[in-house]
């Protein structure tokens, strides 16, 4: 894999990641093996992306054939209709990048024979005999049913194989990817979907005459997220998302982490959890040694010397010599009808307005906290602006405030605020 920047080098743009310092050694990608289960809307696009990235070896699994109905979302061609998806994928991918080693398996992994072949192919280390663990570096689940996902989950738990799961909703407007590391993260049986937990045959849920929607855009986005996290995992750059969702209607990308269930129904998962716990001291020692080897972090200088406005980023702690933090002064904002419309926080010369979601009627409770600073009340309540129960001090007044001799405890202040808020809600 050459890093030479010439039009005849298909890897020059990829190797630029190494020259720019994003990836330490991109050429390592030639040593990795990826298994893709399901060569459909997501799997076929993911296979194409990895092939263009120069992956070393791809194992492709699917039992279906190419149909004209697939043309809206897959990378197959009309002249390949009738071919198995695995054979058609090998034909297309080898044309894109002949350097990639391609293995195809036309089988159903949910059958006994198919599952055994799937397991043995993952164990095969002919591509990289010195590799630790199984013969692949990552398994990508791109199937469209829970039965196949549970089969992948079982195989990866037994082999202690890290895998990435992906899926697209039936209405084709949302999707997700999820990283599963046996013993460290939740497996697919730790928190199973309702259709799996209830033991329902999902084939009985399919309605006659109803076709699941499919958008090539959603498939492409999910495939892109899947391959991006695959590259980050393999090449060690950036942060791999433990779970990343995608809602195309709102362009919303939720993330979360899922810990393993100590009462998981999968025996292999429980075994991996025990192994992970026993290996914790060794991991902690390795992390400590790595931190010590890196040495103390060097403090970075300013981003730019030209700072006309003297803008700086400071810690929110008090200066040295004090042991308290100023949590500001809180004010109630009310309307003439005694309806709570918000409360304000005045802290270090700044005024923040926070709108609550509750309302109350009756007498307004004067809610304020003077933390480390007395509240100036010049003019009295009669002279206050409408909607403000306590007058906001000016910046000059705030700077001249005298700090009380006895510092106020922040926890006590927060408890008092909490009690008064509860009184508001119960009124």
Indicate which residues carry an active-site annotation: 211
Q: Who's near 359: CB < 8 A, 6+ residues apart?
A: 339, 340
Give the model confidence (pLDDT) of 288-331 as tens digits: 888 888 776 555 555 556 655 555 555 544 444 444 333 444 44
pLDDT above 90: percentage of residues in the chain:
40
Which of the residue ranges 67-76, 171-180, 341-350, 391-400 has the most confident prediction, judged by mean pLDDT? Answer: 171-180
C-alpha closest to that of 23 among 244, 227, 235: 235
Give the model confidence (pLDDT) of 354-408 as tens digits: 444 333 333 333 333 333 333 333 443 344 444 444 444 444 554 454 444 555 5
Residue 154 φ/ψ, nearest 5 degrees: -65, -45
Mean pLDDT of all residues belonging to the chain: 75
Q: Mean of the pLDDT values across residues 272-290? A: 91
Fold of 32-293: Rossmann fold (3.40.50)
CA distance 339 to 361: 6
Contact of 384 with 376, CB cutoff 8 Å: no
Instruction: Enter the pTM of the model.
Output: 0.66
C-alpha closest to that of 139 among 181, 167, 101: 181
C-alpha closest to that of 196 among 167, 230, 225, 164: 167
Give the pLDDT confidence score for residue 388 in this predicted structure. 43
Contact of 82 with 66, CB cutoff 8 Å: yes
């Amino acid at each position: 894999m050459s890093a030479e920047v010439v039009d005849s080098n298909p890897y020059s743009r990829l190797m630029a990641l190494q020259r720019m310092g994003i990836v330490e050694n991109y050429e390592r990608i030639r040593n990795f093996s990826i298994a893709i289960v399901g060569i459909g809307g997501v799997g076929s696009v993911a296979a194409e992306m990895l092939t263009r990235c120069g992956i070393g070896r791809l194992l492709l699994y699917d039992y279906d054939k190419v149909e004209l109905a697939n043309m809206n979302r897959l990378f197959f061609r009309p002249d390949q209709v009738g071919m198995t998806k695995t054979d058609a994928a090998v034909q297309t991918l080898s044309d894109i990048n002949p350097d990639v080693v391609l293995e195809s398996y036309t089988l159903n992994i949910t059958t006994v024979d198919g599952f055994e072949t799937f397991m043995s192919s993952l164990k095969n280390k002919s591509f990289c005999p010195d590799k630790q663990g199984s013969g692949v570096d990552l398994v990508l689940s791109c199937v469209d049913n829970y039965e196949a996902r549970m089969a992948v989950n079982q195989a990866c738990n037994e082999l202690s194989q890290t895998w990435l799961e992906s899926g697209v909703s039936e209405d084709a407007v949302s999707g997700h990817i999820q990283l599963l590391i046996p013993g460290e993260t939740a497996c697919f049986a730790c928190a199973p979907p309702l259709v799996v937990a209830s033991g329902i045959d999902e084939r009985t849920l399919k309605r006659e005459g109803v076709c699941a929607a499919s958008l090539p855009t959603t498939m492409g986005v999910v495939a892109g997220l899947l391959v991006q996290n695959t590259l980050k995992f393999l090449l060690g750059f950036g942060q791999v998302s433990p779970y990343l969702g995608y809602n195309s209607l709102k362009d919303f990308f939720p993330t979360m982490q899922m810990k393993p269930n100590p009462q998981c129904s999968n025996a292999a998962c429980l075994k991996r959890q025990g192994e992970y716990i026993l290996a914790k001291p060794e991991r902690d020692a390795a992390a400590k040694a790595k931190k010590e080897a890196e040495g103390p972090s060097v403090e970075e200088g300013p981003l730019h010397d030209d700072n006309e406005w003297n803008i700086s980023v400071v810690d929110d702690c008090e200066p040295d010599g004090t042991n308290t933090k100023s949590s500001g002064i809180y004010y109630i904002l009310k309307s003439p009808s005694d309806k709570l419309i918000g409360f304000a926080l005045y802290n270090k010369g700044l005024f923040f307005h926070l709108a609550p979601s509750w309302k109350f009627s009756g007498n307004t409770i004067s809610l304020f906290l003077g933390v480390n600073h007395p509240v100036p009340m010049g003019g009295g309540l009669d002279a206050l602006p409408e909607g403000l129960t306590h007058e906001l001090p000016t910046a000059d007044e705030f700077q001249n405030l005298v700090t009380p001799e006895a510092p106020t405890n922040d926890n006590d202040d927060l408890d008092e605020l909490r009690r008064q808020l509860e009184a508001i809600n119960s009124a």
